[in-house]
Amino acid sequence: MNQILFFSLSALTLLTAFFVVFTKNPMYSVLALIACFFTIAGHYIMLSAQFLAIVHLIVYAGAIMVLFLFTIMLFRPVAVVWWLESSVLET
């Protein structure tokens, strides 16, 4: 049971990490990074380090990623505006 959980968490961690790197929309990248942090916290829980998992979620997924998300939403970089305009024009 532990091996199945470990390999599924590892596969999900790698999948979300690749999604962070290769996606073009920064909003999706931040959300995938938050999911990656949750799967890493799952690894910590499997190692019986519950305190480290909770601190990891509070500090990274709870604070830093929310700040990244708000920064992207408020400032809307030029690349995001260009991507949104080009995708609207194509449809």
Contact 63, 51 (CB under 8 A): no
**Greatest extent of the chain over all pairs of C-alpha atoms, in Å:** 51
Average pLDDT over residues 75-88: 60
Pick the more confident residue, 33 or 11.
11
Model pLDDT, residue 39: 95
Residue-wise pLDDT for 53-74, tens only, equals 999 888 887 888 778 878 777 7
Residue-wise pLDDT for 6-26, tens only, equals 999 999 999 999 999 998 887
pTM: 0.74
